Structure 1
Amino acid sequence: MRRHVKSVARHILILFIVLAPVISLVSSQQPPPVFDCAREPVKYIGDRQPDKRFYDGALPHAVGVHHYQVLRANRSRPSEGGEIGWTYNHQPFLAYWNGRFYAQYLSTVFQEHTPPGRTLLSTSEDGRNWTNPVVIFPEYALPEIKTEDGVIPAGTKAVMHQRMGFYVAPSGRLLTLAFYGYCLTPRHSPNAGNGLGRVVREIKKDGSLGPIYFIRYNLHAGFNESNTAYPFYKKSPDPGFLEACEALLADKLVTLQWWEEDRGKDGFFAIDPGDAENAAYFSSSVTTSKGAGKAFCYYHRPDGVVVGLWKNQYSALSPDNGQSWTRIALSKTLWTCGAKVWAQRTDDGRYALVHNQSATRRNRFPMVVMTSSDGHIFDDMLCVRGEVPPKRYQGIHKNTGPQYYRGIVEGNGNPPGDDMWVTYSVNKEDIWVARMRVPITWEVKEPFSDDFEQGDRALDFWNLQSLKWAPVEVVAEKGKKNKCLELLDEEPYDYALAERVFPRNRTVSIRFRFNAAQVAQGHALEVEVQDQQGTRPLRLRIDRNWLGMDHKHVDVPPVAIQTGKWHTVELKVDCGKQSYDVIVDQAPVRQGIPFAEATESVERLVFRTGPYRGFVPPEIVDAGMPSPAGLETEDLPGADEKSPTCRYLIDDVKVQNE
């Protein structure tokens, strides 16, 4: 279902859209009155918390989450064009309009707060296959700027920083926005009210872009139409564009996303979200993720009240669609780490909140989701992504892990189906989207048999990590009518992953066919059976010659296999005996292999084109990542080059209770 708001009273229609599921008697419940929950607008009441020793927090995994890489940073072979690839890519935004996904993100050459900066756009019809990025807000040459700490010479390029990327106007026009700021050094900030102003342009249905205009200057910082390079939006000769800009400027809820870089005191903003009790000090001469009023997002509860969320646990409520707010409070059950929080109403009438529930309050992992029936009380914390690859490129302030989540803002479209879509960056260098199955759950109650003949529909209950250089997809077997799951891997520092959750049990029979179609020397497909916390009682390792059962074992002989040939594997897993049997091509080959790690039950089957990397390094388990981030590593060798191709085919996956 697509939503194109036609009325000028955009916020009223959005409210009706939000309330529609309640009217239809779906699962939303009425939250407490504003007065009763203003002191803690969002509250997590669940017992689950992440284990800091594991990247996925040893949490149950949400079922049916597909992660697709939008951009793979590459310094020497940039997909965005140019002679040198820019390897700092961060802060993405997402919209769905005119039958396409739009992902916007900002970029610098190699690290945060370091000019030149620019903003790019990638689009997709299906959310899986993305176009090469194009620059939509280019480098901007600054005038001479005198600051308290020094002088920025004329001609220095701007640094971009924005907390809003898209706006679908009541007329249906799509605007994209960004903010030009500046930094004297990488240890200065561009988002403290000291930048030039906010720019806007139209994205048209044919994919072309309208001219760039300033829509709001930082007048208090000394910038206006006379000393900036782009004209004021009112100079546009297009009445429809002017109407769209005016509608945006009149929306006090949407434009509260602008406050962080703007911080104007001219009455434009309904509140000053930086005016929070005991907020950490923040200014242009301080680089910190702390502070109030940062990275605003919002959603409507079933009673029409707006819940506003900022970084660092800050939250507030608005009973009148952003015209006034309760006093900004702390949602202390969110273990934030200076990264963004995203929350929204999902298509089943419930609510979902995605962020990094950080056990150390420093590490930006795992990526979790928690759900709610009323938008106030949240429960059932699940891991959405526990994969944390190494940073390939050095740069200051490049935090490790998936972070800065943003879904589709109310009014900016709703893709077909009930899925929830979220975009994020990994290590501040690669851009991703996640498609999350709704309703959000961690349980599968029925045994399954997947032959992939239904194509993508067969993957609804699978969890996938699909990269540009390591895609996961259903393919037709060459020369045959059969369809199967393909894991291709040419990525030197990450891997393709396919995971299937099955009903938790103590004794299960797992059957699948595999074809190691192409295996480079030193590479292998790893197959694991795991429990809900990620304990790994067994692992099969499939290389070009052997199927090994050697997870923490040296006395279990491998079984010979042939590349390019289909083999059938059946596993008889018995948690009562703490052992498993292996049957290959209908012949029992190994019996009673002891579990490598003890567990009382199993519920996940994992196929992975690289070795396990779920352990957080001991040196950061308690202390967290070093600060400032990004200075503890150097560029990794060969990061711009593909590794030798590995190709694995999986078919006829069946799990049943014994």
Structure 2
Amino acid sequence: MEGLMDHPENQIRYVGGTTANLDYHHGQLRPAIGVRSRQVFRANRSHPELSDGSGWTYNHAPMLAYWKGCFYLEYLSCPVHEHVPPGQTLLTTSKDGWHWSTPVVLFPPYQLEHEHHYPDGEILPEGTYSVMHQRMGFYAASNGRLLALAFYGFCPLPSVNPNNGKGIGRVVREIGEDGSFGPIYFVRLNGHSGWYEKNVKYPFYTESGEEGFREACDELLADRIATLQWWEEDRSRDGFYAVEGGTAFNSYRLPDGRIAGLWKHSLHAVTEDEGRTWSKQTRSPSLIMAGGKVWGERASDSKYALLYNPSPIGNHRWPLAVVTGDDGFAFDDMLVVNGEVPPRRYFGFHKNYGNSYVRGIEAGDPPSGSMWVTYSANKEDIWVSEIPVPIGFRVSGPVNDTFDKLSPEDRVPDWNVYSPQWASVSVAAFPSGRDRSLELNDADPCDYAKAERVFEECAAGELRIRILAKQANDGQLYIELCDAKSAAPIRIRFHSDGALQVLQAGTWKELLRYEPDRWYELIVRFDTERQWFEVEVDGEPAPKAYPFSMPAYTLERLVLRTGPMRREPHVETPLVTADLPEADEPAKAVSYYINQVNIHTI
């Protein structure tokens, strides 16, 4: 099988010619159309009651399951720093992927009750707290049981990794259909590091009185694909693992029945016998990535997708991109899933910038029509993105969008939404239940709400948009028309001083004074051959045509955003920075409503 993998057609590879420009958070990539990104959890040190009750600000490595009509998301957490104890794992759930429950502790901090002596002579003092480190979060057994998993490791120093084989072992508990948790058990212990049933605080799963739970654990232990995710924290040499090497494993089934495996740092391999043996791990130079994870999946349209950060630098993990292919080996069309990197609010060791450690639905039956993924932002907030299937980047024909038939939790077709908890984007029953609008609401002092609509790429076109600002003395709404690389030659904004403005030669020029709670119909006609655009408000044209702020041959995207374009962090931003002041207090909320959008070529 190793010889077979030497052939190019059996190498997992990116064959596209597009790369990400890391001077921009979006990488100058086209967006995958219709992606809805939602902040599940926003860390808050000063007001724990507004987050998860703990106020801890290192939150990372989320895992996702969809089981019996409900999403389950677990993530690990430490007070301030990665690899600095104590650590715990939390769980949040959702019926629709939009509204998420307040996180609760799933696996609590673990403190040693006795001094521990490793076989190599190293000693862990009594009272030492563990940290958590797991590459697998859930397992849905064939008998209908849902298992949640985690791993207790140790970091005597922040530079010591908890996945070095010296941790205690892997814990498991059942999640009931009613949301209840079963007792915590160990399902595998690191015996080679001196951890046995007699010196750990939780019993081994075989002691459970629940036969169905024991059967589910037995099935998991016999699953050589699922348990291969455990190797790096275990590192035993007892023959349990078919591959001893690589980190953050995941897999997908190929059209011919074989299974492809992916690891961090562009490694991949293939098994023909359900994980008993594997081809030699091979590094793919065309898959440019660093320490962030890669997720591979066969979507509901039978096409394959890889999601990762196409960056060679682990400190700067942006954008979160997707590439797609037909056969599970060759991937093309690099698109951005989430190209936003908000300011990191809290400093912490190893807290890299960007959206990383992406994971899809690893247990249960994913809902058809979309891919769902989860990831952390700056290792402090947790996000999910819904990616419509099939994944695409082009639109043909005119845009005539209204929002009357949609509910707040619905994905808005063909719109890309970036929705933090304190700066949400959703459909609202405004001005009435029958006449609904897209609402951008912003109370986040560090982030913004953003909505994008891709339209047919054209050299000349017209935008008609109906907008209402609930206030005229606070907030701002940017309206931009962009090209394929997100260059925005047309920039208009509702400013906080009550002026509707257009950007010209680096200066914002006033078009008119706008009033709160009043609808405005804005028309923009553009011509890239002449490199200019015209503006009309409520039937009144501006006194002249305006030149573009930057060159563009075609335009293809409308962007609405409640804050100025971000340029930090950037590739020269160091990891050691101060905490942001006043990041834990919501700002005064501002709201904007979009009632109708029409875009067509001229």
Normalised by the length of structure 2, the TM-score is 0.96
Deviation (angstroms), 1:399: 0.3
State the partner residue of 1:225: 197
Alpha-carbon distance in 1 for matches of 2:7, 2:412: 40
State the partner residue of 2:92: 122
Alpha-carbon distance in 2 for matches of 1:206, 1:83: 22
Q: Which runs of 5+ in 2 are unaligned?
A: none
Q: CA distance change for structure 1 residues 590 and 127 in 2, over 3 Å: closer, same or farther?
A: farther
Q: Pairwise mapping of residues 645-656 of structure 1 onto structure 2 (< 5 A)?
A: 645-656=589-600
Deviation digits for residues 609-629 of structure 1 (CA, Å, limit 9, x no counterpart) = 110015763xx26xxx54xxx
2:390 is the counterpart of 1:446? no
Deviation (angstroms), 1:583: 0.4
Deviation (angstroms), 1:558: 2.8
Secondary structure in 2 matching 1:518: coil
Contact 2:151 2:169 in 1 (8 A): yes
Alpha-carbon distance in 1 for matches of 2:251, 2:69: 24
State the partner residue of 1:50: 20
Q: Pairwise mapping of residues 147-186 of structure 1 onto structure 2 (< 5 A)?
A: 151-186=123-158
Q: CA distance change for structure 1 residues 45 and 38 in 2, over 3 Å: closer, same or farther?
A: closer
Alpha-carbon distance in 2 for matches of 1:145, 1:503: 65
2:169 is the counterpart of 1:197? yes
State the partner residue of 1:420: 371
Q: CA distance change for structure 1 residues 439 and 551 in 2, over 3 Å: closer, same or farther?
A: farther
Secondary structure in 2 matching 1:549: strand
Contact 2:511 2:542 in 1 (8 A): no
Give aligned-pair identity as a percent. Answer: 45
Q: CA distance change for structure 1 residues 423 and 83 in 2, over 3 Å: closer, same or farther?
A: closer
Alpha-carbon distance in 1 for matches of 2:472, 2:234: 53
Q: Pairwise mapping of residues 543-558 of structure 1 onto structure 2 (< 5 A)?
A: 543-544=495-496, 545-550=498-503, 552-554=505-507, 556-558=509-511
Deviation (angstroms), 1:363: 2.1
State the partner residue of 2:330: 377
Alpha-carbon distance in 1 for matches of 2:456, 2:263: 37
Q: Which residue, out of 525, 537, 558, partners 1:584? A: 537
Q: Pairwise mapping of residues 215-614 of structure 1 onto structure 2 (< 5 A)?
A: 215-272=187-244, 274=245, 293-358=246-311, 360=313, 362-409=315-362, 412-415=364-367, 417-455=368-406, 459-478=412-431, 481-518=434-471, 521=474, 523-544=475-496, 545-550=498-503, 552-554=505-507, 556-614=509-567
Secondary structure in 1 matching 2:394: coil
Alpha-carbon distance in 2 for matches of 1:503, 1:158: 53
Secondary structure in 2 matching 1:261: helix
Contact 1:507 1:657 in 2 (8 A): yes
Contact 1:97 1:413 in 2 (8 A): yes
Deviation (angstroms), 1:361: 6.1
State the partner residue of 1:144: 115
Alpha-carbon distance in 1 for matches of 2:510, 2:5: 67
Alpha-carbon distance in 1 for matches of 2:158, 2:587: 33
Q: CA distance change for structure 1 residues 324 and 480 in 2, over 3 Å: closer, same or farther?
A: closer
Contact 1:449 1:652 in 2 (8 A): yes
Deviation digits for residues 15-68 of structure 1 (CA, Å, limit 9, x no counterpart) = xxxxxxxxxxxxxxxxx9954548963111111011122111111111010001
What is the aligned length? 596
Q: CA distance change for structure 1 residues 458 and 347 in 2, over 3 Å: closer, same or farther?
A: closer
Q: Which runs of 5+ in 1 are unaligned?
A: 1-31, 275-292
Secondary structure in 2 matching 1:606: strand
Contact 1:317 1:325 in 2 (8 A): yes
Contact 2:22 2:318 in 1 (8 A): no
Secondary structure in 2 matching 1:408: strand
Secondary structure in 2 matching 1:304: coil
Alpha-carbon distance in 2 for matches of 1:188, 1:328: 26
- After the TM superposition, which of the residue ranges 422-431 and 444-453 deviates more from structure 2? 444-453
Alpha-carbon distance in 1 for matches of 2:137, 2:563: 35
State the partner residue of 1:12: none
- After the TM superposition, which of the residue ranges 35-44 and 444-453 deviates more from structure 2? 35-44
Secondary structure in 2 matching 1:121: strand
- After the TM superposition, which of the residue ranges 174-183 and 453-462 deviates more from structure 2? 453-462
Deviation (angstroms), 1:560: 1.3
Letter in 1 for 2:269: A
Q: CA distance change for structure 1 residues 310 and 593 in 2, over 3 Å: closer, same or farther?
A: same
Contact 1:509 1:573 in 2 (8 A): yes
2:82 is the counterpart of 1:112? yes
Contact 2:29 2:335 in 1 (8 A): yes
State the partner residue of 1:640: 584
Q: CA distance change for structure 1 residues 497 and 81 in 2, over 3 Å: closer, same or farther?
A: closer
State the partner residue of 1:214: 186
Alpha-carbon distance in 2 for matches of 1:71, 1:418: 25
Deviation digits for residues 179-230 of structure 1 (CA, Å, limit 9, x no counterpart) = 0011101111100111000000000000000000000000000001110000
Contact 1:386 1:614 in 2 (8 A): no
Letter in 2 for 1:395: G
Q: Which residue, out of 133, 139, 142, partners 2:103? A: 133
Deviation (angstroms), 1:170: 0.8
Secondary structure in 2 matching 1:258: helix
Alpha-carbon distance in 2 for matches of 1:37, 1:235: 49
Alpha-carbon distance in 2 for matches of 1:473, 1:163: 33
Q: CA distance change for structure 1 residues 82 and 91 in 2, over 3 Å: closer, same or farther?
A: closer
Alpha-carbon distance in 1 for matches of 2:226, 2:163: 18
Q: CA distance change for structure 1 residues 578 and 167 in 2, over 3 Å: closer, same or farther?
A: same
Alpha-carbon distance in 1 for matches of 2:80, 2:432: 45
Q: Alpha carbon RMSD of aligned pairs, Å? A: 1.9
Alpha-carbon distance in 1 for matches of 2:411, 2:293: 33
Contact 2:63 2:374 in 1 (8 A): yes
Deviation digits for residues 555-603 of structure 1 (CA, Å, limit 9, x no counterpart) = 7333111011111100001101101000001111243101001110100
Q: CA distance change for structure 1 residues 480 and 177 in 2, over 3 Å: closer, same or farther?
A: closer
Deviation (angstroms), 1:152: 3.5
Secondary structure in 1 matching 2:507: coil
Q: Pairwise mapping of residues 74-85 of structure 1 onto structure 2 (< 5 A)?
A: 74-79=44-49, 84-85=54-55
Alpha-carbon distance in 2 for matches of 1:258, 1:360: 25
